[in-house]
Amino acid sequence: MPESSHAAAGHPVAHQFDTAEQQYEASQLGMWLFLVNEVMFFGGALAAFLVSFVLYAPAFEDASNHLSLPLGALNTVVLLTSSPTMALAVHAAQTGERQGQVRFLFWTLLLGLVFLVVKAYEYSHKFHEGLVPGPWFDYAGPQAAEHELFLSFYFALTGLHALHMVIGIGILAALIVMARRGRFDAGYFTPVELSGLYWHF
């Protein structure tokens, strides 16, 4: 195990674990179980969207024109770019390169903020156009109910994703502070590695 020496390096093993390896493996298992739970949660929501799309395909296709392809593409590029920077941060932590940890964690955090700014701009545009489901919905075109359903899925799914991004950015900020203090090295990098798994998801 790569973290077998972390107790000797000043990173004590928690009292409920017998060895550093056991602690590391439990942390890994816990994160993977959490991610499986997230996959099931988002999978259920996406399945509900798919069923609704099959039932109301023409209206959903028309409603998708309310979304901005350029902004969606931009945020996709931002997210895809943040994944390698997070992977580089994990590698820097595994090799004990403190400056690399801080630098790549910072870039990942910055890309996360760019994503949220773009998403906030998209949301404000939807508010301005009266396309927010609920009492603010003001779409006068045909099949308004189906358009509202499509946008309900849009706000629910992207809102949940944005919430995960906010949490991730908070975690990254904490990791940057810890990395600057030299908390991670080749013997102990579990928080960075597990945060990387969360971020990639």
Question: pLDDT value at position 8?
Answer: 40
pLDDT digits (tens, 9 = 90+) for 47-99: 999 999 999 999 999 999 999 999 999 999 999 999 999 999 999 999 999 99
CA angle (108 as vertex; 103, 112 as ends), nearest 5: 145
Instruction: Grade residue 11 by pLDDT with cuts at 50, 70 and 90.
Output: low
Instruction: Grade residue 201 by pLDDT with cuts at 50, 70 and 90.
Output: confident
Question: pLDDT value at position 15?
Answer: 79
* Chain center to CA of 134: 26
Asked whether the predicted pLDDT for residue 14 surpasses 90, the reply is no
Contact 147, 66 (CB under 8 A): yes
Distance CA(99)–CA(109), nearest Å, equals 15
CA dihedral (16, 21, 26, 28) positive or negative: positive
pLDDT digits (tens, 9 = 90+) for 148-197: 999 999 999 999 999 999 999 999 999 999 999 999 988 889 999 999 99
Q: Which two tokens stand for residue 72?
A: 């969606």
Q: What is 145-172 written as a DSSP string?
A: HHHHHHHHHHHHHHHHHHHHHHHHHHHH
